[in-house]
Amino acid sequence: MKSVFFIPIYNQVNELPVVLNELKESGPCCDEILLVNNGSNDGSEDLVRKAGYPYLDFQKSNGVGYGFIKSIEWALERDFDIFGGLAGNAKMLPSEMPRLLDPILNDQAEYVTGSRFLDGGSSPNLPKFRKKSIPMINKLVKILYGVGISDATCGYRAYKIDIIRRANFDWTAPWLYSYGFEYYIYAKVLLDNSIRIKEVPVTMRYPKKGLPYSKIKPFSGWWKLLKPWLIASFDGKGFHPLDRT
C-alpha cells in the first residue's frame, strides 16, 4: 500500500527546518511527503518550494482544514492508499511514522491515531492548559460516543484513504476549513463499528515555558475544536458500507 504524509505550514520559518532535517535523518518512513504552504509570508514559503518534496502552494491561509482537504484530493488523484498528517511546527517526530503506518500495513487497523499518554508516548513541556483540557475532551468523547480514548486531540494520525471515499457527508464543506476537519472525520470513524481503530504511543514536543506553542486562538479556537465532535454525533451522517465483494 502506498502512503503519503502531508505537512501543513503557516509561518513556521523557525520550526520547518527542524522538521525537514528530521525527515532526512529518519529516512524514507513513508512513500511520499507532501508539503502544503498555507499562505506563509515569513520565508516558510521559500523553504517549501526548495525542499525537494512535492508541494501545494496557497497564496493565502484558508485554514489547516482546507490544507487537509486539498491534500486528500491530491492523494486521491494519485491513488495513494494511506493518508497521514505530520505537524509543520516540529511537535511530532518523523521517525515515529512507522508507529502509525505499521498497524495499517499489517491489517490490524484502518485508522490509527497517536497518543502522548500511552506507555511509550511522551509530551515534553506539555502546557498546563493542555494537560487539563485534553482529559476533559476525552470525557466528552466518551459521553458522546461511548468510546474511551486516551488522547482525542493528538493530530498525529494515519488512515486508509478509502475511509474518505466512503463518506456520505460533505467532507469538503467550508465550515471544516479550520480546525474542525480532522476531528469531524475522527468522530465519524468512532461512530462506525466497521472501521478498526488503534491508538499508538507517540511523542508530542512543546517549546519551553513562555514560548508560543500553537496558532489556536483561546476560546474561539477551542470552540472550533469542540464543534465537530458535537455536530458529528447528531447529524446522522456516516460512511457507506464496506464493499466486501
pLDDT tens-digit readout, 129-146 = 888 889 999 999 999 898
Q: 17 versus 233: which is more confidently predicted?
A: 17
Q: Is residue 112 part of a domain?
A: yes
Binning pLDDT at 50, 70 and 90, where does residue 151 land? very high
Please, which residues have CB within 8 angstroms of residue 47's CB and are 6 or more apart in sequence? 13, 16, 17, 20
Q: Is residue 243 part of a domain?
A: no
Among 187, 181, 188, which Cα is nearest to 167's?
A: 188
Kindly state the cell numbers that stand for 202. Answer: 507517540
Is the pLDDT at 215 greater than 70? The verdict is no
Q: Is residue 127 part of a domain?
A: yes
Q: Please give the share of the chain, as a percent, with pLDDT higher than 90.
A: 76
Q: What per-residue confidence (pLDDT) applies to 243?
A: 63
Q: Please give the share of the chain, as a percent, with pLDDT higher than 70.
A: 93
Please, which residues have CB within 8 angstroms of residue 172's CB and are 6 or more apart in sequence? 69, 73
* Mean pLDDT confidence for 189-197: 94
* Mean pLDDT confidence for 52-74: 95
Using DSSP's 3-state secondary structure scheme, residue 35 falls into strand
Binning pLDDT at 50, 70 and 90, where does residue 179 land? confident
Q: What per-residue confidence (pLDDT) applies to 139?
A: 93
Q: 7 versus 220: which is more confidently predicted?
A: 7
Using DSSP's 3-state secondary structure scheme, residue 94 falls into helix
Q: Is residue 174 part of a domain?
A: yes
Over residues 6-22, the pLDDT tens digits come to: 999 999 999 999 999 99
Number of domains in the chain: 1
Among 66, 77, 177, which Cα is nearest to 58's?
A: 66
Integer Cα distance of 63 and 121 in angstroms: 28
Binning pLDDT at 50, 70 and 90, where does residue 28 land? confident
Q: Is residue 242 part of a domain?
A: no
| Single pTM value for the model | 0.91
* Mean pLDDT confidence for 161-169: 96
Scanning the chain, the segments in alpha helix (DSSP H) are: 16-26, 44-50, 64-77, 97-105, 128-145, 162-165, 180-191, 220-234
Kindly state the cell numbers that stand for 195. Answer: 472501521
Is the pLDDT at 240 greater than 60? The verdict is yes
Is the pLDDT at 194 greater than 70? The verdict is yes
Integer Cα distance of 194 and 200 in angstroms: 19
Q: Is residue 244 part of a domain?
A: no
Q: Is residue 241 part of a domain?
A: no
Domain of residue 25, CATH code: 3.90.550.10
What is the domain range of residue 150? 3-234
Residues 54, 28 contacting (CB under 8 angstroms): no
Q: Is residue 198 part of a domain?
A: yes
Is the pLDDT at 95 greater than 90? The verdict is yes
